Structure 1
Amino acid sequence: MTTIAELELPAEEFALWETLDAMPTARFEIVKVVARDRDCAIPYLWAKCDDLPALEDALANDPSVEEATRLEELEGEALYRMEWTYQIRVLVHILVEEEGTVLNARGGEGRWRFRVLFPTRDSLSTTHEFCENADYSITVEQVYELDSARQGRFGLTEEQYETLTTALDLGFYEIPREIDMESLAAEFDISYQSVSERLRRGHRNFIRNGLGWGSLDEDTSE
């Protein structure tokens, strides 16, 4: 069964460790990554930093970066095409050996967090075994099976996904609203406060994983 897993790996065991160490407030978000071969990965990623020139100096001195090309620049953010050739065996294994797809990846605060779609649950198990044998300190944070893949794509819990979709179906987001918060709470037989919290956390996780940056430490629970 197709599986989505949220994984965490220390940056020092992956990529951009020296850059993140030199620029502790910098954040990276991968938007696309291609494994050129077993020794090289080419990610396209957004970098968010208050001092882009200093960030590019750090990238130039980072042993995990063979090449970094700035493609676009916005206010405090830049899109880069990079070539990674150092300590990326986990990523290459996922993409090449297990035919996985990286749905989302963020780097910051000395670590990387990935949301990966594996074609089978065994692919995830094989990746975890590979990391253990290679002494990588990978942590499996959450696992979603195919029946919950829609919420897993954006890091939503089952309760958050159900509440958001039900609210949409019942017209909670229409102008004017076709159902109020009290009636929505009654649909789930929970309190006003509980449905409010589900909506807020669901909105936050959806926006954070679909559009925004967010903190790597944010709570994604119900």
Structure 2
Amino acid sequence: MGVIAEFTFRHPGLPLMPSLEESGVCLDVEQAVAEDPDEPVLFVWAFDGDLDDFEVAVEDDDTVDDAALVEDAGDRRLYRVEISDATPVTLYPIDDRMEASRLGVTSSADGVDARLRFPDRESLSTFQPRAEARGVDVTLRGVYSDSAPVYGDQNGLSAKQREALVTAVEMGYYDVPREASLSEVADELGVSAQAVSERLRRGVAAFVRTAFDQ
């Protein structure tokens, strides 16, 4: 039986991490392809932060060989990014060899959040040590069999996502009319507005995936 696991990976040498730290954008990985697993080509949607700053930062990013704009949707831009063989850490060959399929990958300066499907628990148990052997800080946020959570929050939320959602609801961020701004929720949690925005967005997505088995 297949197993779904949710991870957060952190390492300064992960692909595009220098550009994310410089610009503050977030990336949704739409597709990853590679003839050479160590040099994948990523199709990524960039959003939040400063997209112009991101394009400038990518030009000086040693983890990138080439980046081309594919589509500009105003507040989001799709790029085709060729990852450099000089990139200190890539996770693509590890999950590929473990026969893991990527259900969702989002990157920000805080790390890479990934939702992966493994063919069995043996493959999952082998994956994390291999990632950690490359110096990657790995946080396993949840493990699911079918639609039932085996490990982690019953709604598929990380502790920080749950805290952000609960705080936002209690302060009236989701009320109509809105009783609290994103900045006020951020101040309450002691983090940046961007960090709160990411946690709320990812938390809602995780909740919906779990509730509706998506």
TM-score in same-fold range (> 0.5)? yes
CA distance in 1, matches of 2:132, 2:52: 37
Aligned residue number for residue 54 of structure 1:
53
CA distance in 2, matches of 1:4, 1:37: 25
Aligned residue number for residue 90 of structure 1:
91
The 3-state SS of whatever aligns with 1:99 is coil
Aligned residue number for residue 183 of structure 2:
none
Structure 1 length normalisation: TM-score?
0.64
- Percent identical pairs in the alignment equals 25
Range with greater deviation from structure 2 (62-71 or 46-55): 46-55
Name the CA shift for 1:102/1:49 in 2 (closer, same or farther; >3 Å): same
CA distance in 2, matches of 1:30, 1:74: 16
Q: 8 Å contact 1:68–1:83 — kept in the other structure?
A: yes
Q: 8 Å contact 1:51–1:76 — kept in the other structure?
A: no
Q: 8 Å contact 1:42–1:84 — kept in the other structure?
A: yes
Q: 8 Å contact 2:3–2:146 — kept in the other structure?
A: yes
Q: RMSD of the TM alignment (CA)?
A: 3.0
Q: 8 Å contact 1:9–1:113 — kept in the other structure?
A: yes
The 3-state SS of whatever aligns with 2:62 is coil
Aligned residue number for residue 6 of structure 1:
6
- What runs of 5+ residues in structure 1 fail to find an aligned partner? 150-154, 159-196, 202-213
Aligned residue number for residue 217 of structure 1:
199
Counterpart of 1:91, as a letter, is Y
How much does 1:110 deviate?
2.7
1:35 aligns with 2:26: no
Range with greater deviation from structure 2 (73-82 or 128-137): 128-137
How much does 1:88 deviate?
4.1
Aligned residue number for residue 155 of structure 2:
157
Name the CA shift for 1:77/1:11 in 2 (closer, same or farther; >3 Å): farther
Counterpart of 2:100, as a letter, is G
Q: Paired residues, what number?
A: 164
How much does 1:26 deviate?
0.8
How much does 1:156 deviate?
7.8
CA distance in 2, matches of 1:70, 1:103: 23
CA distance in 2, matches of 1:88, 1:34: 17
Relative to its length, the structure with more helix (as a share) is 1
How much does 1:42 deviate?
1.1
The 3-state SS of whatever aligns with 2:35 is strand
Structure 2 length normalisation: TM-score?
0.67
Counterpart of 1:146, as a letter, is D
Counterpart of 1:8, as a letter, is T
Q: 8 Å contact 2:27–2:108 — kept in the other structure?
A: yes
Aligned residue number for residue 16 of structure 1:
16
Aligned residue number for residue 66 of structure 1:
65
Please list the CA deviations of residues 100-127 of structure 1 after superposition, one character each: whole Å capped at 9, or x if unmatched.
1111111113311001111111111111
Q: 8 Å contact 1:41–1:88 — kept in the other structure?
A: no
Q: 8 Å contact 1:29–1:105 — kept in the other structure?
A: yes
Q: 8 Å contact 1:26–1:48 — kept in the other structure?
A: yes
The structure with more radius of gyration: 1
CA distance in 2, matches of 1:156, 1:29: 24
The 3-state SS of whatever aligns with 2:91 is helix
